[in-house]
Amino acid sequence: MIEEKILNSDDFVLVLTAGLTPAPLIISIGEYKPKWVIFIATKETNPKVTEVVESENARRSIKRYETIILSDPEHFTQCALEIRREIPKKLEAMDLPENILLLADITGGTKAMIAAFATIMTEFNSQYVYVGGTERKDGRVVSGHERVIRTENPWDILGWNEAKALIDFYNSGQLTAAQNKAELLKDKLEEYKQFYDGISIAIRALQKWDLFNYTKAKEDLNLALDRRLSSYNNSHRKDFQTLYKNLSAARDALIEVEKEAKLLKGVSESAPADFGKAYFKDLIANARRRAERGRYDDAVARLYSAVEKVAKVALAKRGIDNSKITKEQLAKFDENLRTKYANASGDIKMAFDDSFAALSALAPDDPVSLAYTELEPELKKLMSSRNDSLLAHGYIPIDENTYKGFHDLVMRFMNITECELPEFPKMELKAILFN
């Protein structure tokens, strides 16, 4: 039970379910002296609302009241839907904010009404009150021995609403909103401050990863996993163990990507054959996350970048930087490329198609050359769609089908399967809740 603090009648609305006995409602109103009241009644119990409103307790305090009439007091789901729909309307009718404290009196009404009312109140800024008693006879409170009891919304104690919102935001890719909810939980649940700080830092790490800030992302994931969350990774928290394991696996993938990202500008002939693949896979996964949020132009821009960098890395492994090709290197290519860039001054920056042509001239049996030769017509068609898009040189937005076609083609071109793409682990509510 909460500490009984005096309530200012301007700060709350008393919401009561009306049964066939008006006495408990009159007692509750006398106890809390509300200015604003919402009654939840039925056609049968609505006359009792009139009795309550005309009582001395009500006349002394109530400034305005509204009544919700439920259509079927024995139907739990119907009651819940109607209460959830009507509460905001009644608050608006009384010119009150939706986040005002609601004292939910669950004393009267049918079992279905009370259960539905108590369930729906978890979604509002609410506390629960009910009329109990010091003496009972035949299971009922003896008249004259009633007492009003007030208790917290249990979901506030558990942080359930914030945790559920965090999960919904996180799993839909809204990482900033998810981190904000983790910060709220950290401030609200002092006992678990370290845990929710760790969750917040882990989400922040994924935000940075999503923005290609690999080093800062790794630092944050290390902090979250090794300094904040490791003590919760035990048999008492089996649901969290799965999340911890998946975050650790994501960190392993991130470390590999970060390593390649740091070395990409200095790729040399000594680089291993599969160098760059982790980085390319991350670009594709990043594109997929954008597409999942309907941002297809952003997604295709990332896929384009991935294909472009495949040629760049393949040439770099042969000692050629396709943004700084010298006249001496140009002489190694075929006649078409030599003619095209013959009058170029200084170092030559090669276009997308020409980079693959240069690679084919140098190493026609290279797997990248062979893949490009096989898929060149399809790649050029999709590259044209990208060049005509809003984020490139044109005005045509990329649609879902174009993205999917581009994605599938890039995966074929790079010989990558879906299961190879790094993923941000999903979160389940039970993994981040206590009690």
CATH of the domain at 71: 3.40.50.10770
Which two structure tokens, joined as six digits, stand for 349? Answer: 């920056």
Backbone phi, psi, residue 357, to 5° = -65, -40
Residue 79, domain member (yes or no): yes
Average pLDDT over residues 58-66: 96
Question: Does residue 203 lie in a domain region?
Answer: yes
Poorest-confidence range of 74-88, 142-156, 257-271, 286-300? 142-156
Q: How confident is the model at residue 98 (pLDDT cuts 50, 70, 90)?
A: very high
Under DSSP, the state recorded for 150 is E
Q: Is the pLDDT of residue 248 over 90?
A: yes
Amino acid at 115: A
Q: Would 398 be classed as within a structural domain?
A: yes
Domain span at 89: 9-158
Range in 28-32, 117-121, 213-217, 380-384 with the lowest mean pLDDT: 380-384
* 182 & 153 share domain: no
113, part of any domain: yes
Angle at 64 between CA 58 and CA 66, to 5 degrees: 100
- How many domains, the chain? 3
Residues 42 and 94 in one domain: yes
pLDDT of residue 149: 62
Average pLDDT over residues 387-412: 86
Question: Are 127 and 2 spatial neighbours (Cβ–Cβ below 8 Å)?
Answer: yes
- For 52-96, the DSSP string reads HHTSHHHHHH-SEEEEEE-S-TT-HHHHHHHHHHHHHHHHHHTT-
295: left (phi over 0), alpha (psi -120 to 50) or beta: beta
Q: Which of 114, 131, 158 is the C-terminal boundary of a domain? A: 158
- d(C-alpha 22, C-alpha 282), whole Å: 65
Is residue 93 in some structural domain?
yes
Q: Are residues 413 and 293 in the same domain?
A: yes
Claim to verify: residue 36 and residue 106 sit in the same structural domain: yes
pLDDT surpasses 50 at 120 = yes
Query: Do 164 and 223 belong to one domain?
Result: yes
Mean pLDDT value of segment 351-359: 90
**Is 371 within the bounds of a domain?**
yes
Average pLDDT over residues 34-53: 96
435 assigned to some structural domain: no
CA dist 117 and 38 (Å) reads: 12
**pLDDT over threshold 80, residue 126:** yes
Cβ(315)–Cβ(358) under 8 Å? yes
Instruction: Name the domain boundary from 95, 126, 158.
Output: 158
> Are residues 224 and 251 located together in one domain of the fold?
yes
Alpha carbon distance 63, 244 (integer Å): 53
How confident is the model at residue 157, as a pLDDT? 61
Quick one: 20 and 137 in the same domain? yes
> Residue 133 — pLDDT band, cuts 50, 70, 90?
very low
CB 41 within 8 A of CB 68: yes
Residue 29 belongs to a domain: yes
pLDDT at 147: 59
Q: pTM for the complete prediction?
A: 0.74
Same domain, 305 and 286: yes
Q: Which of 221, 256, 291 is the endpoint of a domain? A: 256
- Tell me the mean pLDDT in the region 169-197: 94
Same domain, 250 and 270: no
- Whether 131 and 228 map to the same domain: the answer is no
Q: Is the pLDDT of residue 413 over 60?
A: yes
Could you tell me if 282 and 224 lie in one domain? no
H or E, element range at 209: helix 193-210
Do 43 and 81 lie in one domain? The reply is: yes
Residue 101 exposure: Cα atoms within 13 Å on the Cβ side: 17
Closest CA to 105 of 71, 132, 81: 132
